[in-house]
Amino acid sequence: MPNLKDLKNRIESVKSTRKITKAMQMVAAAKLRRAQESAEASRPYAARFNAVMAGLAASVGGSDSAPKLLRGTGSDDVHLLVVMTAERGLCGGFNSNIAKLARAKAYELQAKGKTVKILTVGKKGRDAIKREYGDLFVGHIDLSEVKRLGYTNAQDIAKDILSRFDGGEFDVATIFYSKFVNVVTQIPTAQQIIPASFEETEGDDSGAIFDYEPSEEAILADLLPKGVATAIFSALLENGASEQGARMSAMDNATRNAGEMIDKLTIQFNRSRQAVITNELIEIISGAEAL
């Protein structure tokens, strides 16, 4: 049984931990608002961009004149999985859930006889899947020095992926990230970006209303690389909001758990202290009676 000094030191240690988790919760809450606004602001643009691209892709179809980014290589033997996670931990299951989805996809593809390559964005995702699929890594993009994510960061990642595609390193590319819903809900998501896949929304009549000049193929050839960068940028923004929401929730739980532990340790300390006092009184009374 720990003595009073050990209990007192442990109570002070847990109190210090609670101060840290509370501070981290407040910092995450402050960052969450800005990250959430950025993620939500990007959604209408991304949705409209995809709607226009869907109309263009539908008019071009699978013709030989369609850009390579749209029609693909004609094969799906080699898959590139772009796992996008955070550079820091202490955010609950945010990083592990994305890594889990990527591992499941890699296992599924390998079971079908496909070749899998992995490009990681963020240190935590790389650490999470390195043990099982470290031999499949083809690159890593470090964003730890970036203070605030911008479109240029997405462009750099897109250039890396597009250069690999042009070099014939893979046939299909899929990005993995977490879509922000609210503070307690973030949905791990897999999105194919190469070959480009667009879902035409209901009521979208862009192909019936507009005539494009130059041709649809020329427009797609120019916009598809921007579409890859846009998808990556949206994923980075969603990840940013999801990370802060998950960290805020995790630190809130940690703060509450620390408070409960302090209460239990305080009760244990008081009981031990009372037992010591009682023993001392018994010794004094016994000594007095002996006299």
52: annotated active-site residue: no
Q: How far is CA 24 from CA 89, 242, 243, 244, in A?
A: 12, 15, 13, 10
3-class SS of residue 110: helix
- Which of 7, 11, 14, 91 is flagged as catalytic? 91
Distance from C-alpha of 8 to C-alpha of 262, rounded to nearest angstrom:
10
Distance from C-alpha of 267 to C-alpha of 265, rounded to nearest angstrom:
5
Q: Which residues contact 81 (CB under 8 A, 6 or more apart)?
A: 102, 105, 106, 116, 117, 118, 119, 173, 174, 176
- Angle at 188 (CA atoms; ends 184, 194), nearest 5 degrees: 150
Query: Order of strands, edge to edge, in the sheet holding 137-141?
Result: 137-141, 115-121, 78-84, 172-182, 185-194
Give 161-191 as a 3 state SS string: HHHHHHCCCCCEEEEEEEEEEECCEEEEEEE
Tokens of 277: 């006092």
Active site residues: 91
